Chain A
Amino acid sequence: MHTTESSETLNTIIEVKDFNFAYGESQALFDIDIDIKEKEVTAFIGPSGCGKSTFLRCFNRMNDLIDIARIKSGSININGINIYDDSVDVIELRKHVGMVFQKSNPFPKSIYENIAYGLRIQGVKDKSKLDQVVEECLRGAAIWDEVKDRLHDSALGMSGGQQQRLCIARALAVKPKILLMDEPCSALDPIATAKVEELIHELKKDYTIIIVTHNMQQAARVSDKTAFFYLGKLIEFDQTDHIFMQPSNPQTEAYVSGRFG
């Protein structure tokens, strides 16, 4: 495990080495090396189709769902364990690595049942335990005050921003260590976006967050570190300030200043 020169005392939680990933014959990710620190917000930016979402979905092996997806070489270690090892239980992994999707996808059940789902599938039946977790998660996602009076109404009656925060709350219910967010605000208006960003700030205390975003201002606002991807390659990865103020790579500079992408 190599440590960067910076003076952080944070532990590395995700360690990616020489990661090559392909959909069938077309390679999507080339030789990615990246270390992600615990309890930091890392933003992935880059133009559409650059592989940032694909990379994000490698962390909880969501790409397993795609038949033709395969790892060509390299490894992703989370807490020192190679998650692509045969012995790894994907279900267990996904409990530790939660995910929030681009399109909010609350289940067509009540708000309460949405949050409780993660526990119910683990066989938790204790009502008081469920009640407690639901409240905890909704508070954690800063949405409790808005929904506490209608916990048993359909989650689909909520606004788009509330739905997305509900999905974040739902992800928290299984107590993950890492939270993956795939363009969580792309379908939200500025006010709802601000609320989600505020929430990300709050969650940083307890969770490691990786966020994919198209919105560079958002990356600048919420993240500690930013990784710039282009054509399946990791071009630059550094402190967010560095990336936006004085990027060392000319491509990064061109992208963040809006000259392409």
Chain B
Amino acid sequence: MLKTLLKKQFLELGKGFFYDAKKGRNRSKKGAIAFIVMYALLLFGFLGGTFAFLSYTMCPTMVGAGMGWMYFLILGSVAVILGIFGSVFSTYSSLYLSQDNDLLLSMPIPVKYILISRLAAVYIVGLVFSAIVMLPATIVYYICAPITSFWSIFCPFVFLVDISILVFVLSAALGWVVAKISTKVKNKSLITTAAALAGIGIYYYVYFKAINVLEAFLANITSTNIEIKGAVKILYTIGSAGDANPMSLLIVTVISLAICALVFFILDKTFIKIVTTKTGAARIEYKEKKAKSRGVMKALVFRETKRFTSNTNYLLNSGLSIVITPIAAVFLLIKKDVVYEGMQYLFTRGTTFYAIIGCAAIMLLQSMIDITAPSVSLDAKNLWLLKSLPVKTQQILRAKVLNQLMFSLPTSLLIAICSAIALRLEILEIVLLLVFTLAYCMFSADFGLWANLMKPNLHWTSEIMVIKNSFAVFIAIFGGWIICALIIVSALFLTPVIGDMPVLLFWVLLTVVMTVVLEIWLRKGGSARYDNL
């Protein structure tokens, strides 16, 4: 029975690979394989390649200096960050909000089995994301570090598994906290969003504290006989678990498994109660108010905004940067001198060059606002309603774009202005940075919509499948990151050849042109695609 449930859960998880939602039928065997290979190449080729490069720059020096434990500690931390980013927001909904929970609970299936199958999917997602970092890190370690014993091979591999367990434990625990809060509060989405953000905040607090401890430790190294004690001892134990230290590995593995067992015990004891508790909120009695009318566009944008703000998963996964960007903007203003000096120290270049870097940074932040990317798939159940309304398809699509712009434009303009101040840009550079910001916000919204119209998923059983794990979202986020990487590469290697201003102008113009092209496509091709869904 558990095997059947696991099979169902994994089929659901990998549905996008085997099922063509556009054509409404399964992909051919070749098509599915090609799709999986492409996805794996993007994840492990592009992203994994980046981490392989990072690992390769760190590993020989650190291992050579007897700091292999720090190599694993740093990359393990990065893996946990990425793993949590990949799975934490999906845990709550995939565990407690799956549409087939009622159906499964009505069947003669032990509740424990349902929970295990759901958790297995959570673990797999966390494993994939953490492996993007840890797999290249481990391979690089095998290549660069001397193989002195069996533990040199065994420890890094088991450490990879330990990291995936840690990601799983953190995701499951945070999902459980969010679920517990949801059963008791009135404004669920706001509270759960705040709780999740607080969870992330705590994690980063611990992370930066650890970095401080390490920095202090490194600053105080005066001899080769380093005394490792206090907080460093804990970090050392974690890191050395990967660096051929069997005792550390045993301690880390036992503790990871014990915490994992404890979390499972808690989840198991509370699962059915949380799933079957509708809400703790009091019933709201309707009191008639004077009605107000709005225009059609305003109403359509309101619908998009309402859906975005009332869904915790949607908010956290597609709008995290809405919170991060203003914080970054304020940081830039407060630390403007440090930022400017830092830029001068790193690049010793003119302000036009800094404007290019500013463009890339804004792009990186804005790529993480991908509200339009799952918006078409999320319409699945309501397509009948939208199609039966007397509105043009163009208006429906325009409302999706406007909704994203409502959130991305103010925050990105704010950080653009703060960047201009911090980087001491000239008037022309400020104008170009602002034009770029406006164009990129528009492009980003259009690009997400394009991705979803090209790859819609109208047959999901849990919203998180399209909000987090869909191809459209993947393309929207990583597409932006790839362009961001290209901007940086052009800044580093092209500006010495043709100058800073031509490169800046090129990216501003290209972004404007790409936005215009997408706008034209959305009006005709995009509308036609939506009509045919």
**Chains A and B come from one and the same complex:** no
Residue positions of B touching A, CB distance < 8 A: none
Which A residues form the contact surface with B (CB < 8 A)? none
